[in-house]
Amino acid sequence: MDKQILIDLVTKTMPYGKYKGRLLCDIPEHYLVWMHGQGFPEGKLGMWLHTLYEIRLNGLEGILVELRRTYSKIY
């Protein structure tokens, strides 16, 4: 996996919808499950959300914790 994708998950915000302005890593799991059923959007946003869905599905949220601590100081 490209480390930049993980960095993007802790630094980029949702551009629209109910969770507009929230960091991608803070989007609730139920929304990701719903979006998985509807189909993720095209492009980078869809890739980021799908990656976050897979991280949550597999219980790997811990990999984002340290990145968030590190990159929240930078951004």
Per-residue pLDDT tens over the stretch 41-71: 999 999 999 999 999 999 999 999 989 988 8
Please give the residue range of the domain that contains residue 63.
3-74
CA atoms within 13 A on the CB side of 49: 26
Report the percent of the chain where pLDDT is more than 70: 95
Confidence of residue 37 (pLDDT cuts 50, 70, 90): very high
Cβ-proximal residues to 8 (8 Å cutoff; 6+ apart), any chain:
24, 44, 48
As for how many domains the chain has, the answer is 1
Residue 13 has pLDDT above 80, yes or no: yes
